Chains A and B, each alone.
Chain A
Amino acid sequence: QSALTQPRSVSGSPGQSVTISCSGTSSDVGGYNYVSWYQQHPAKAPKLIIYDVTKRPSGVPDRFSGSKSGNTASLTISGLQPEDEADYSCCSFAGTYTYVVFGGGTKLTVL
Chain B
Amino acid sequence: QLQLQESGPGLVKPSETLSLTCTVSGGSISRSNHYWAWIRQPPGKGLEWVGCIFDNGDTYYNPSLKSRVSMSVDTSKNQLSLRVSSVTAADTAVYYCARQATLRLNTYKFDSWGQGTLVTVSS
**Any B CB within 8 A of the CB of A47:** yes
Interface size class for chain A? Answer: 20 to 34
- State whether B46 touches A103 (Cβ < 8 A): yes
- State whether A104 touches B109 (Cβ < 8 A): no
Interface size class for chain B? Answer: 20 to 34
B interface residues with partner A (beta carbon < 8 Å): 45-49, 52, 60, 62-63, 96, 103, 107-111, 113-116
- Could you jot down 28 A-B contacts, CB within 8 Å? A2-B48, A34-B109, A36-B108, A36-B109, A45-B113, A45-B114, A45-B115, A45-B116, A46-B113, A48-B109, A51-B108, A52-B108, A52-B109, A57-B111, A89-B47, A91-B47, A91-B49, A91-B110, A93-B108, A98-B63, A99-B49, A99-B52, A99-B62, A100-B62, A100-B108, A102-B48, A105-B45, A105-B47
A interface residues with partner B (beta carbon < 8 Å): 2, 32, 34, 36, 38, 44-48, 51-52, 57, 89, 91, 93, 97-105
